[in-house]
Structure 1
Amino acid sequence: MDEVLSQNEIDALLSAITSGEMDAEELKKEETEKKVRVYDFKRALRFSKDQIRSISRIHENYARQLTTFFSSQLRTFVNIAVTSVDQIPYEEFIRSIPKLTVLNIYSVSPLDGRLIMEINPNIAYALIDRILGGKGNSLAKTNSLTEIEKLLLTQIFEKGIDCLIEAWSSVVDINPILEEFEENPQFIQMVSPNETVVVVSLTTTIGETSGVINICIPHVILEPIIPKLSAHYWMQSTKKERDYQSYNMISKHLKEADVEIKAMLGQADITINEFLKLQKNDVISLTQSIEDPLPLVINSKPKFIVQPGKFKNKMSVQILDEIKGVKDDDE
């Protein structure tokens, strides 16, 4: 794929051609020659752009689920969004995170391997502060977490496992278990340093504190479901069988829903001046004749023609015909 030049590089190139330092004909000649692209086997790209987009969609859903979960648990403003999805060597991921951070390690059976969730210390301390009744401010701590702080973080992320299950359910049913809680990334060696991993970065805001949550997914986890990460799998229509239990429950509730029914005895139009002059014993003539049938109005929509009468000593109406051509969205 051709490289895209920045604006500064374009300006420098035009300046060199104008000043004569570079010959445009030589540039054309170089374009026709075959170019050798440098390929680093240590950074082998094992996932296509299509598969990376699918992983991004999964974690966009996860970010929405986690936002709702944290908002309900912390009772404060929370916003989580996917910033980037990259495939890099595992060694590069370990070097990129702070020496003192929060690392949750999940097993995701039935898939092999384990994934790492790295929570920036700013976010971790804001979570702890909010859980303990504070405003969600990040603490300037340089020492390790206490056992109580570790327990609080472990509990809230164990509760948030359902968000991970829901996000991945569109591709595979997983059973995540939070197996380990670490602070030093040097103590974690799940795969070889040169193994390709997918790193999903989630920009996280809790109250006035911002930070990043990184999710590291080794290739061994994704390998069995790679065919399901294609656009074809996502776009194909899957016919689902009807859930008769839910269908019957919805039908039952609909049958028990209340609707308002009125038999309109007639209408009358008067002016404001006539209305203001109304007195006791005045008579208002209706447009409805006593021999004509009445309209039956359901939720403000005329649906049937009826005639008034009595049934078991109660005022009733008998349906004569249905009013045709009345749409539900009519005013």
Structure 2
Amino acid sequence: MSGNKKDKTLKQDEIDALFQAARAPKAEGAAAAAPADPRSKAQPYSFSRAGQISNEQMRAISLLNDIFARNLTHNLGAWLRSTFEVTLVSAEQIPFNQFIARIPELSYVCSVRLEPLRAVSVLQMEMAPAPSIIDLLLGGAGAAGQLRELTDIEESILASVVEVICRELSAAWEPVGLSFHYEQRQMHTQIAHLMPVSEKTLCLNFEVRMEEASGLMNLAFPAVVSNTILHRMVGDWTRQRSHNPETRKRMRENVGKAAVGGALQLPPFRVLAREIEGLEPGAILRFPLASSRPAEFRVAGVPLFGATPVRRGEHRGAHLATLHK
């Protein structure tokens, strides 16, 4: 009997084993209740966020339209022969009715067709820069004017500017296969018919600055652009590509052989018509410029340096002085 009682005495390791065995069914039950694959776990979903543009897509959009803004600044500024600066302010996704609510009553709004999607986007410009643009294209100095509704002639002139904007948009968006075509101006009452008011639009906001005026330019894309184009944009613009040193060297050498237009010229100024009428060989025309004012060395129409004309041997040259900012 004493041997049997002694045999019933449990050691510490046996006691631990009993406790582990007692807990095992609960642990196994908890494991059976948990899903084997954590990806199969149900997650809350908000249908109001369906079709939202990701942060990666928005960065790609900003990169693309920064290029558009720079190109439009240089090309339209050269065409107007005046300071013209375009800057991307923001890119956001908002319902179309919210975009409409932001449009001032006195503004220029037009429809722009996107090919090959056969979709319509909306371009809206504040009227503040319009008088300066029109005055420049009519040969004036670009003076700011009173905000009012455009005449038929002024509307036709501004439409030619919109066509330049569409051309630059097409050049910037060519990598994603989109081209922009100006259709016609839209009255405020017609805007709501261009796309469903509840549709989510991609809205790009630009600031336009001139010497005498500034204002905003907004562009609203329909949802079809987000659904069919943006994923391609992310793949094309955010993929990191690297070339080997030999390839980079060859590319730099080939680019260095490209010829670009250069000119050494005085800054723009105005001369009275009666002074030009009385010109004859040997006459001296006095410019309204100080003698200390340097000329400008321009490449492809863009001023790079203040410079002074010099001679080096049998060739003309330019002594570069100040760097344009």
TM-score (norm 2): 0.57
- Structure 2 Cα separation of the partners of residues 182 and 80 of structure 1: 23
Q: Could you tell me which of 128, 135, 138 is aligned with 2:141?
A: 135
The structural deviation recorded for 1:161 is 2.9
Match of 1:161 in 2: 166
Q: Could you tell me which of 64, 68, 75 is aligned with 1:69?
A: 75
Q: Does 1:230 align with 2:224?
A: no
Structure 2 unaligned residues grouped into runs of 5+:
1-43, 244-250, 259-325
Q: Does 1:213 align with 2:214?
A: no
Q: Secondary structure of the residue that 1:235 maps to in structure 2? A: coil
Q: Could you tell me which of 52, 59, 73 is aligned with 1:53?
A: 59
Match of 1:170 in 2: 175
Residues 1:233 and 1:201: Cα distance change in structure 2 (over 3 Å): closer
The superposition leaves residues 12-31 of structure 1 with CA deviations (integer Å, 9 ceiling, x where unpaired) of xxxxxxxxxxxxxxxxxxxx
- Structure 1 Cα separation of the partners of residues 198 and 242 of structure 2: 38
Preserved contact between residue 112 and residue 221 of structure 1 (Cα < 8 Å):
no
Preserved contact between residue 99 and residue 185 of structure 1 (Cα < 8 Å):
no
- Structure 2 Cα separation of the partners of residues 44 and 203 of structure 1: 30
Q: Does 1:204 align with 2:208?
A: yes
Q: How does 1:21-170 map to 2 (within 5 A)?
A: 41=48, 46-142=52-148, 144-170=149-175
The structural deviation recorded for 1:187 is 4.0
The structural deviation recorded for 1:188 is 4.2
- Structure 2 Cα separation of the partners of residues 69 and 88 of structure 1: 30
Q: Over the residues paired in the alignment, what is the CA RMSD in angstroms? A: 2.9
Segment drifting more, 73-82 vs 223-232? 223-232
Preserved contact between residue 77 and residue 206 of structure 1 (Cα < 8 Å):
yes
Letter in 1 for 2:150: L
Q: Secondary structure of the residue that 1:122 maps to in structure 2? A: coil
The superposition leaves residues 141-176 of structure 1 with CA deviations (integer Å, 9 ceiling, x where unpaired) of 33x21110111011222234321121112322x332
Preserved contact between residue 119 and residue 222 of structure 2 (Cα < 8 Å):
yes
- Structure 1 Cα separation of the partners of residues 50 and 213 of structure 2: 36
- Structure 2 Cα separation of the partners of residues 155 and 205 of structure 1: 19
Residues 1:132 and 1:89: Cα distance change in structure 2 (over 3 Å): same
- Structure 2 Cα separation of the partners of residues 71 and 45 of structure 1: 37
Preserved contact between residue 94 and residue 200 of structure 2 (Cα < 8 Å):
yes
Residues 1:171 and 1:237: Cα distance change in structure 2 (over 3 Å): farther
The superposition leaves residues 27-81 of structure 1 with CA deviations (integer Å, 9 ceiling, x where unpaired) of xxxxxxxxxx9x793x766211111111111111110111012111111111111
Q: Secondary structure of the residue that 1:107 maps to in structure 2? A: strand
The superposition leaves residues 167-217 of structure 1 with CA deviations (integer Å, 9 ceiling, x where unpaired) of 112322x33211111242554422211110011111110123111110111
- Structure 1 Cα separation of the partners of residues 83 and 182 of structure 2: 26
Preserved contact between residue 45 and residue 87 of structure 1 (Cα < 8 Å):
no
Residues 1:238 and 1:217: Cα distance change in structure 2 (over 3 Å): farther
- Structure 1 Cα separation of the partners of residues 133 and 189 of structure 2: 20
The superposition leaves residues 218-251 of structure 1 with CA deviations (integer Å, 9 ceiling, x where unpaired) of 1112321132132675315499xxxxxxx9xx79
Residues 1:114 and 1:49: Cα distance change in structure 2 (over 3 Å): same
The structural deviation recorded for 1:119 is 0.9
